[in-house]
Amino acid sequence: MFNTFEYLDSVKADLPVNEILKASGITRMEEMLQSIRNLKENVIVARDSADGHLNLKDRRLDHGYNMFYVFSRAKVNDQHSVLQAKRNSMANGIKVLERIKRDSEDFTQTAYGVNFSRIDYNELGPIAGTFYGYSFGFLVEQGF
């Protein structure tokens, strides 16, 4: 089973972010967002969950739902800064996905099985008044 947080933490040095956090459900996410004001410019939050669906009929596949969030800080009441934070978050999210794609091409990597035909994203913000970003959701199809 693919673990988004463990994967992102293992490749953190190659990602354009200052910190990677883990959120285990809505309650934990709310707690984490309360302290986001103390974080640096670019942050990734990995949703640590075990959501998905199993296919026992065809090749015993586990289709795991995975999600991460990318946030960038903007200046207060500065629309140009807000737009730049959104652009940075999208660009950083795409860089993360490109890294996952490169790693998924090697059958021995934990990222093998990511379905790149559909990556869902949603705009988020403002969070804690100054952070804007996107959530990125994707499926990982692996045998079990």
- 16-60 pLDDT, tens digit per residue, is 887 888 877 655 665 666 666 666 678 888 877 767 777 777 767
- 50-91 pLDDT, tens digit per residue, is 677 777 777 676 777 889 999 999 998 999 999 999 999 999
- Residue 29: what pLDDT? 60
Distance CA(128)–CA(72), nearest Å, equals 11
114 and 100 Cβ atoms separated by less than 8 Å: yes
- 116-129 pLDDT, tens digit per residue, is 899 999 999 898 78
- Residue 122: what pLDDT? 96
Place of tokens 């090697």: 106
| Lowest-pLDDT choice from 37-41, 94-98, 131-135 | 37-41
Tokens for 129, please give them: 């008044």
The percentage of residues in the chain with a pLDDT greater than 90, rounded to a whole number, is: 28
Tokens for 135, please give them: 């959530």
Q: What CATH code is carried by the domain that includes residue 135?
A: 3.30.70
- Residues whose CB falls within 8 Å of the CB of residue 89, separated by 6 or more in sequence, listed in order: 42, 70, 71, 72, 132, 133, 134
Structural domain boundaries, residue 79: 4-143
35 and 127 Cβ atoms separated by less than 8 Å: no
- Residues whose CB falls within 8 Å of the CB of residue 108, separated by 6 or more in sequence, listed in order: none
Total domains, the chain: 1
